[in-house]
Structure 1
Amino acid sequence: MLHRAVEDISTGSDSDYSSTWISWFLSSKGNEYFCEVDEDFILDRFNLTGLNNEVANYAQALDLITDQLDDEVQDELRGSLDVQARLLYGLIHARWIVTARGLAKMVEKYKRGDFGRCPRVLCQSQSLLPVGLIDVPYEKSVKLYCGRCEDLYSPKSSRHGSIDGAYFGTTFPHLLYLVYPTLIPPKTGPPADGPASANNTGEGKGGRRRGREEVPDAVGGMSGEGGGEGISTASVALKAERYRPRIYGFQLNETAKLQRWQEAMRDRQVARLEELEERG
C-alpha cells in the first residue's frame, strides 16, 4: 500500500521542468522534507554499496538521477524508471543525511521549521525531525520526532504522510542531536530553536497555528468515544507503547537508562491500580 502511495505522489507538470533531475524532484510537491544530496556523494560508488540489490534497473535509475541517461532508454522505461529513481534517491538520501555535510543541511531545514512543529501544547511549538520506524523500504511511512516530549507524530499532509520512512532512516534525528548537542530541546521554557510566542508562531487568541508548517497528528492517543466506562486503567497503561530512540540499531545509553527507570515506576503504579480496581 505504501508502495502504491509513493507511485501516486504528484510528479509535477511540464511547466515545473528543472535543469536537473534532482532539482526537479526537490521542487515537486510533497518532497519538502528532502534535502539536496551532493553530486560527488552520489558519484562515489562506495557510498552506494548494496543499493544495486534494493533497486530494479539500478544502473539506469542512477543515470537518470545524475542526468546521464540516454534519451532513448528513458523513453522506453519512463514510468517504471521514474519510480525506481525515486526509490534510489530516497535510499541515498538516508545515507547522506547522517554524514557531516548532510546533517548540516538538515539542521538548516530544522531551524526553519520545514518539518513542522509539535502539536503538544506544552512543547511550545518545538521543531520536529523526520524519522523512519524501520530502515527497510515499503514497510512504514515517515514519522515526525519531537525531541522535547520524545514522542512521534504523523505528518498532517497526506503527501508527506506517504513518504517512505526508509528515506530518512531510524538513526537521523538522534544522531543530529548527538552531533549538535546545543539543539537538544529543553524540557521547560521556550524551545531551543526560538521563542514560541503567538507573535512568531502565527497563533492568535484561541486560534490554531497558521504558518508555512503544518500541524501534525499524534501517532498514538486515546479515543474520546465511550467516556472510559468499563475500561481498566491498568490494562490501558500496560498497552501503551513508547518510542525508543536508536542510533544504528543501538539504544542511546542515557535515554535507555531513563526509560528503564520510568517503566519501573509505571509498573509500580500499574500494580497499585490493579489492586485498587480489585478492591472496587
Structure 2
Amino acid sequence: MAAPTEHSDMDSLSEPGRNLISLSSGLSSGSDPTRSYSESESRSEPTPAMRSLRERYPYKITLPKPKPNFFSKFISSRGNEYFCEIDEEYLTDRFNLTGLNTEVPYYQYALDLVTDVFDLDADDDLREQIEKSARHLYGLVHARYIVTTRGLAKMVDKYKKGDFGKCPRVACEGHPLLPTGQHDIPNTSTVRLYCSKCEDIYNPKSSRHASIDGAYFGSSFTSMLFQVYPALLPEKSVARYEPRIYGFRVHASAALARWQDRYREETRARLRDAGVEVKYVEDDEDDEREDDDDEAEAEEADARETRVAGDAASGRMDIGN
C-alpha cells in the first residue's frame, strides 16, 4: 500500500491565494514590495491571476477622509463668519443649556448632532429638520457662550482681525465693527453691526449675514465686551461734517452746530465740577499743540538769554534786539 501523501495548506489554495500569501510574506519580511514586484515583472509577463490580484489588492492604499463634524461644517459655511467655535466642554454641560429644550424642535436629536453623537437613521426630510434645529440650537448657545471669558476672548480676536467688517461712516476711519442683537428673543430682528467709535449700529452689507438672527449674539454682548476689555474703547471725537455752499457754512446748520458745541461745553463743565472728566481726541491734539507752543517759547527765551549773555561779554549793549 502506498504511503499517504502529505498535503500542505498551500496546495489546497488556488493560484491567486498562493500569490497573495507570497506577497504578504514579502511585506512582513521587511522587503520592498515595489522592488520585488518589478524584478518578477522583468523576468516574465504578469499572469491573469497576478493582474486580478493587482486590481484587488493595490499597493497604494488611500484612507477615506474623515467626515467633517458639525463644528467645522457650520463655522466654515458661507455666511457664518460672525460665529466663533464653542468649546465642547461648554456644550456638554447641561447647565449651559437650561431652558433651550422648549425653544428648539427635536431638541435631543439636535443636541446629539451638534455634539457628534447623532446615529439616527432618518429620512432626508427629517434629517433636514433636525439639522435646521441644530443650527438654531447652536446659535442660541452661541449667545450665551460669547459673554463668558473664553467666548469674549475668541470674539476679541475676530474683532481685532476685522472679521465683522469696518464702519461705513467716513469720520470713523474704518473702525472695526461688532455683531449685536437688538433683542434677546429669537425671530424678532436680525443681526446688526455696532461701531464703538460713533456708537451707532448698521445693517450688514452681505445678504448672507443680514439674515442671521440677532438673538444669536444678544443685546448684552458688546457692552459686556467693553466692560471686560475697556482698553479697546476708542477715544471720542467732536469732529463732524459741515455742509457748505461755495465754501460758506449753511446758516441753519452752522447755528445748530454752534448751539450743540456750546451745550457740550456747558455739560462738560458741569461734569468736571462733579468730578467726572470727559476727554475727546481733540483734547489730546490741543494739549500737544500747547506743549509744542510752550517748548517753542522756552527755546526762544533760551536763545534770547544766550544772545544777551554773548552781547554783554563782547561789550555790545543792544540787548533789545
For the aligned pair, the TM-score class normalised by the smaller chain equals 0.5 to 0.7
Alignment partner, residue 51 of structure 1: 100
Alignment partner, residue 143 of structure 1: 192
Which of the numbers 144, 165, 175 marks the counterpart of 1:95? 144
Alignment partner, residue 187 of structure 1: 236
Task: Tell me how far 1:188 sits from its aligned partner.
Answer: 3.7
Q: What do you get for the CA RMSD once the two structures are aligned? A: 2.1
Within the alignment, does 1:21 sit opposite 2:70 as a pair?
Answer: yes
Describe the SS at the equivalent of 1:140: coil
Q: For 1:76 and 1:157, how far apart are their aligned partners in 2?
A: 29
Q: For 1:171 and 1:91, how far apart are their aligned partners in 2?
A: 14
Q: For 1:132 and 1:48, how far apart are their aligned partners in 2?
A: 20
Alignment partner, residue 159 of structure 1: 208
Does structure 2 retain, via aligned residues, the 8 Å contact 1:132–1:142?
yes
Alignment partner, residue 312 of structure 2: none
Alignment partner, residue 114 of structure 2: 65
Task: Tell me how far 1:130 sits from its aligned partner.
Answer: 0.4
Alignment partner, residue 18 of structure 2: none
Which of the numbers 168, 171, 176 marks the counterpart of 2:217? 168
Q: For 2:112 and 2:105, how far apart are their aligned partners in 1?
A: 13
Describe the SS at the equivalent of 1:72: coil
Q: For 1:78 and 1:185, how far apart are their aligned partners in 2?
A: 46
- What does 1:239-254 align with in structure 2 at a 5 Å threshold? none
Q: Deviations over 1:198-217 (max 9, x none)?
A: xxxxxxxxxxxxxxxxxxxx
Q: Unaligned 5+ residue runs, structure 2? A: 1-65, 239-252, 254-270, 272-321
* TM-score with structure 2 setting the length: 0.53
Alignment partner, residue 105 of structure 1: 154
Q: Deviations over 1:71-90 (max 9, x none)?
A: 40475621111111110000
Alignment partner, residue 44 of structure 2: none
Alignment partner, residue 86 of structure 1: 135
Q: For 2:147 and 2:208, how far apart are their aligned partners in 1?
A: 24
Letter in 2 for 1:96: Y
**Residues 1:74 and 1:178: Cα distance change in structure 2 (over 3 Å):** farther
Does structure 2 retain, via aligned residues, the 8 Å contact 1:63–1:69?
yes
Q: For 2:205 and 2:182, how far apart are their aligned partners in 1?
A: 17
- What does 1:260-279 align with in structure 2 at a 5 Å threshold? none
Alignment partner, residue 204 of structure 1: none
Task: Tell me how far 1:18 sits from its aligned partner.
Answer: 5.4
Q: For 1:94 and 1:74, how far apart are their aligned partners in 2?
A: 31
**Residues 1:74 and 1:104: Cα distance change in structure 2 (over 3 Å):** farther
Task: Tell me how far 1:140 sits from its aligned partner.
Answer: 0.3
Q: Work out which structure has the larger RCO, using CA pairs closer than 8 Å and 6 or more positions apart in sequence.
A: 1
Letter in 2 for 1:117: K
Task: Tell me how far 1:134 sits from its aligned partner.
Answer: 0.4
Does structure 2 retain, via aligned residues, the 8 Å contact 1:98–1:172?
yes
Q: Which has the higher helix share?
A: 2
Identity of aligned residues (%): 58
Does structure 2 retain, via aligned residues, the 8 Å contact 1:74–1:81?
no
Larger Rg: 2
**Residues 1:18 and 1:161: Cα distance change in structure 2 (over 3 Å):** farther
Misfit runs of 4+, over 4 Å: none
Q: Unaligned 5+ residue runs, structure 1? A: 1-16, 190-232, 234-253, 255-280
Task: Tell me how far 1:164 sits from its aligned partner.
Answer: 0.4
Q: How many residues align?
A: 176
Q: For 2:122 and 2:156, how far apart are their aligned partners in 1?
A: 38
* TM-score with structure 1 setting the length: 0.60
Letter in 2 for 1:144: L
